[in-house]
Structures are given as C-alpha cells and as structure tokens.
Amino acid sequence: MTINKSMAAQEHAKKTIPGMTQLLSKRPDLFSYGVWPGYYSKAKGAKVWDLDGNEYLDMSIAGIGANVLGYADDEIDDAVCSAIRKGVSSTLNCPEELELADLLCEIHPWAKMVRYTRSGGEAMTLAVRIARAHTKRSVVAFCGYHGWHDWYLAANVGTDNALGEHLIPGLEPAGVPVELAGTALPFYVNDLESLKNIAEKSKDKLAAIVMEPVRNIYPTPEFLAAVQKLAKDTGAVLIVDEISAGLRINTGGAHLTFDNFTPDIAVFSKALGNGYAISAVIGNADVMQSAQKTFISSTNWTEKVGPTAALATLRKHARVNAGVRLVELGRTVQAGWSKLAEKHGLSLHVGGLEPLSHFSFDENPLETKAYFIQLMLDKGFLASNLYYAMFAHSDADVESYLHACDQAFKTISETKDIKAVLRGAPSGAGFKRIS
C-alpha cells in the first residue's frame, strides 16, 4: 500500500492552507503524519478510498460525526439531487425551511421557532447572540466544547488557559478582543457549585447557561434540575448544545431522554444533514423572538440543499430507529476494546457516549496511538482511538474491526520499542475532553 498522492497533497496543503486543513480534527498529524492518508477520492456506505485508490473500512470518526447514516446515503443524496435540479437558491425562499421547522418542533414539542445556519460554530454564536439580546446581559457560563468563535475563546483571554484546565489545552485566543475577558466562564458537569459561583459573581450580568447534554459523563437528574432552576431564578437563557450528541441515541436531541428538563434553546448541526451543511437553532417563542432585536442574517442560510438533506435524514433516521442501532454498535465496540486490552495486558481507558466512543493508552499514549493507527491501516481500516458509529456499519464490519484490533493490540503488547517501528510521526495531542 502506497499513499504517494495523498502525501503530495498534504505537502501541498502545508504551503497553501494555514494549519493544513479547515478542521483541526482532520489534521493528519493528529493521527500519524506520514502514514495517515489525509485525503479521499470517494466515500460510500462505510468505505473510503484515498487519492491513491486504497480502500478502507472507516471505523474512525465518520466525517467527525457528521455522517451518522453513512457516506453518500442514496435516500439523502436522491433528495438533495432532486432539490439541486430545481435550483439551489432563488430570490424567493425555499419552503423546505418551513417544513423542517415544523418537523423539528414536532420532535421537540417544547420548541416553537427555528433559525438556521450552515455550521455548528456559527449556530452556537447565533444562539448566544439571541440569549444576550433577550436578556440584555453579556456573561455566558458554559460547560463543554462549543466551537471557535470569539464568545467561546474569550474564556482564554487574560487567563492561564481556562479552556485547557476545563476541556481543551492549547487553544490560543489570539485575535479575540481582550475586552471580552470575563464574558465566558467555564463550569463543570455535576458540579453545581462551579456554576453557582459564576452566577453569584456575575450577579445581574448572566445572559446564558450553555451546556452539552452529555459527553463523557452523564449529568445527574439532581444537577439538571438545579441548573434549570438556577437559569429560571437568574433569568439566564438555558442553551443545550446538541451538535455532537444530537441524533446519536434518538431522532432528536439527547436532552429528550432527561426527565423534566426543558431548555430555552437547543442547537443542532453535524448529523442533522448526514454530511450536508445545515444547522438549526430551535427554541421557545419568547426567547427566539429576541432574534429580531439584533441583526442576524446570511445569504447562504436560505439555500435549499441543507434543509432538504435534514428532512431526508430525520425521516430515515426515525424510520430505521437509527439511534438504537448506533448505541448498540458503540456498546459492542467499547466492550470489545476492554476485553481485548485485558486479553493482551494493555492498560486502556475506555469511555464516551456509546455512539461517540473513545479509548486511550495509558503508556506512551501518542506513540502507541500512532502505532495502532499504522497497524490498522495496514489491515485496511481507517481507525484511531475514536469510534463514531454510523448506521452503515454492519455486524460483520464490527466483527472484522475487532478482529483487527485483537491482532493490533497483540502486536503492540509484544513491541518493546514502539517509536522504532513507527513509519510516521507520533500522534498530536488534539482535543482533550474531560466533561
């Protein structure tokens, strides 16, 4: 197997694209530079072909979680192609945005109004803007990862790396106005005191409480009830970021599985369009009407492809009960990792929401991760220490993947000097999630 064309493309990217890729999570050096193919020519189902024509079964990050049903799903693509032939954009608005709004509010009965964007980061920024417009306040308390925009990176302005201590190390706030210092403050899942401290210090300045419904740690019912009460008592807007968790365990938001928990706003992206660019900010009418108090507008938020893809994705997702299958797949993979690690005497930490599973090696983690990636590529798998489930993954895919993991773990356990056998570079640190 050679990846000459892929490596040439990566060298080209170094010269023409700052940071090499548009998305941090797709940087080849986060996997193993020199081994990871980096670019694809075709993707279908659960298969990916690189620029050199090598075929892989993708058991890694599923388009960073965007392709929840699988790559190039015929049902979604057919709907999109039909929409394209009728004209992607027009002087007039597309009715699909109304149809999608009705469907999202049907799935989430507490929500009455919807706005759209095309990416998760800008959707979260829109949600925070609405909250600030509604409350006429500026401070945001947050828990979890919420994108790259100024409101979020402001947490690192004038601090010793608040996001690193909380969630993700090494995110420099260069370019974020220093005047935003103190406007975004982190709290921790199931740690009510950390949120109460922010509310007490902010007094009447708290505009929003932002949290992911679940990531690595499930919030307790008591914590959720207290967060909701605090939001009500302070007048802050409660925003749930469903960009990663949405459509993983049901056809809608993960927050729907929590008893007696109702946010003011929920934000969706990634899986919503099965790879097509579409994001939605849904909310109760009172809060969402505040979007009219500020200027929120963009030409490409009115195109037809995104809403069409989302409608097709939600309908198929519900019909096939994809959430149940995704949880089942993730649970099988997590159990497989743990069993194989014990079999081969490897110290491994396994965790994550089942459809968004991950593991980490306790010894020489970055070198060992790179070696695992290398071994799995040689066996025809795109694999990392992450497994994002796709509905396109079959039982046979999982069985063959875990068989390859068995062999890779065995080789790792028998290798005395992993650095000496690496063909590429050790993995970069990437994202570190602790919430």
Q: Measured between alpha carbons, how far is residue 128 from residues 202, 210, 220, 305, 338 in Å? A: 16, 8, 25, 25, 39
Structural domains present in the chain = 4-72+321-421 (3.90.1150.10), 89-303 (3.40.640.10)
350 within 8 A of 342, measured Cβ to Cβ: no
8 Å CB contact between 208 and 128: yes
* Residue closest to 127 by CA, chosen among 268, 252, 308: 268
Distances (CA, A) of 114 to 83, 95, 118, 140, 193: 21, 14, 13, 21, 32
> Distance (Å, rounded) from C-alpha 54 to C-alpha 48?
8
pLDDT in tens, the chain (435 residues): 899 999 999 999 999 999 999 998 999 999 999 999 999 999 999 999 999 999 999 999 999 999 999 999 999 999 999 999 999 999 999 999 999 999 999 999 999 999 999 999 999 999 999 999 999 999 999 999 999 999 999 998 877 656 655 456 667 788 999 999 999 999 999 999 999 999 999 989 999 999 999 988 899 999 999 999 999 999 999 999 999 999 999 999 999 999 999 999 999 999 999 999 999 999 999 999 999 999 999 999 999 999 999 999 999 999 999 999 999 999 999 999 999 999 999 999 999 999 999 999 999 999 999 999 999 999 999 999 999 999 999 999 999 999 999 999 999 999 999 999 999 999 987 554 333
Determine the 3-state secondary structure of 56 from DSSP: strand
Give CA separation, 77 vs 55, 116, 121, 292, in Å: 22, 20, 25, 34
Q: How many CB atoms lie within 10 A of CB 80?
A: 22
Rounded CA separation 420/297 (Å): 54
3-state secondary structure of 254: helix
**Contact by Cβ (8 Å): 184, 152:** yes
DSSP 8-state class, residue 45: B
pTM over 0.85: yes
